Structures are given as structure tokens and as C-alpha cells.
């Protein structure tokens, strides 16, 4: 006998036992249980994907988001006669993260390259400040100010 209420629309999650509106097609569990297994639902296209970094978008949608954000810059290169692949590469290189100390490109997001001794020292100071609870911006400012003062005094 159906009550016609909210309980008819809810489903029992076999993992946690909670009543939920929908179960994951991939795991058969509720959203919270699926998320605990590092499976997420893309906020753009709705597909489920595995991620250890808790990203809100799948790989395909992250690529689309980047292309949409940089479409005007890519178009500028293409108007000059460059291929899409070349234009995309140039724009990507222009937006690549760089070491705040020496300016060299970083392999991934960060602030210091840690390949040069001077950059490693600055990173170490930055990291110690962060461990003390100082915000990223304040720690960067303090470390770079100290480095600038040291450079002026020493050389």
C-alpha cells in the first residue's frame, strides 16, 4: 500500500542505511558513500569519475572550462595565422605557474621551484611561516621582503 508521501520517493542506501533520493549508477550507493570512495559527480556534465584530489569537474569538463576561459587569447594567436595547437600551447605556457623567487616555470601549482638553493631556502622559510598559522599571502610577503632586504644588504 502506497502512502503517496516522501517515503515512496526515497531509496535506502545499502552501504549506510540512510534514505536518499537517488543512488549512484556506478556504485549503487548514496552520494555521501560514493564520495567517501573518491568517486565524484562532475558539476558540469553529471558523469561520475574517480579522483584523489576532490576536483569538482571530470577531465573532459576541466579541459572545456580551460578552453572557454582562454578562448579570446587563443583566438588572438589564430587570427595571426597560428594553428589551434600552437596557439593553445602559447596560452598554456603564458599561464603556467612560475617560481615567485626566480621566475622559472613550475611543474605544477606552487610558489617556489625548489631546484635552486636560494629558492629552497625561501621555500623552507615560507613553509615554517605557514606551519605557524600565517596565511599564504602574508607568508609570501614576509619571505620575499626578507629576501629583498637580504639581497640589498649582501649584494
Per the structure, the count of domains in the chain is 3
C-alpha cell at 77: 594567436
Q: Check pLDDT > 50 for residue 1.
A: no
Same domain, 106 and 152: yes
d(CA 67, CA 12): 40
Question: Average pLDDT, stretch 145-151?
Answer: 76
Question: Average pLDDT, stretch 7-16?
Answer: 79
pTM over 0.75: no
Residue 139 lies in a domain: yes
Strand segments (E) across 2-151: 11-12, 19-20, 39-41, 48-50
Residue 82 lies in a domain: yes
C-alpha cell at 118: 636560494
Q: What is the mean pLDDT of the chain?
A: 85
Cβ(99)–Cβ(117) below 8 Å = no
pLDDT level of residue 150 (50, 70, 90 thresholds): low
Same domain, 124 and 148: yes
Helix spans in 6-83 (H): 31-36, 59-69, 71-79
The string of pLDDT tens digits covering residues 39-64 is 788 999 988 888 877 788 999 999 99
Cβ(31)–Cβ(19) below 8 Å = no
The string of pLDDT tens digits covering residues 125-142 is 999 999 999 999 999 999
Residue 149 lies in a domain: yes
Residue 38 lies in a domain: yes
Report, in angstroms and rounded to the nearest whole number, the Rg of the chain calculated over CA atoms.
24
d(CA 81, CA 126): 44
Question: Average pLDDT, stretch 113-135?
Answer: 92
d(CA 10, CA 25): 16
- Model pLDDT, residue 155: 41
d(CA 6, CA 21): 9
The string of pLDDT tens digits covering residues 57-100 is 999 999 999 999 999 999 999 999 999 999 999 999 999 999 99
Domain ranges, residue 83: 65-94
Cβ(89)–Cβ(75) below 8 Å = no
Amino acid at each position: 500500500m502506497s502512502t503517496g508521501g516522501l517515503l515512496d520517493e526515497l531509496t535506502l542506501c545499502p552501504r549506510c542505511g540512510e534514505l536518499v533520493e537517488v543512488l549512484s549508477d556506478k556504485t549503487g550507493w548514496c552520494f555521501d558513500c560514493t564520495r567517501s570512495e573518491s568517486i565524484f559527480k562532475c558539476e558540469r556534465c553529471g558523469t561520475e569519475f574517480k579522483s584523489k584530489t576532490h576536483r569538482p569537474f571530470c577531465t573532459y569538463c576541466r579541459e572545456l572550462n580551460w578552453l572557454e576561459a582562454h578562448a579570446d587569447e587563443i583566438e588572438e594567436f589564430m587570427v595571426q595565422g597560428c594553428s589551434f595547437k600552437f596557439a593553445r600551447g602559447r596560452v598554456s605556457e603564458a599561464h603556467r605557474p612560475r617560481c615567485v623567487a626566480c621566475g622559472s616555470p613550475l611543474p605544477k601549482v606552487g610558489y617556489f621551484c625548489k631546484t635552486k638553493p636560494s629558492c629552497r631556502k625561501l621555500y623552507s622559510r615560507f613553509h615554517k611561516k605557514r606551519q605557524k598559522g600565517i596565511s599564504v599571502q602574508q607568508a609570501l610577503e614576509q619571505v620575499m621582503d626578507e629576501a629583498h632586504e637580504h639581497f640589498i644588504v649582501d649584494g
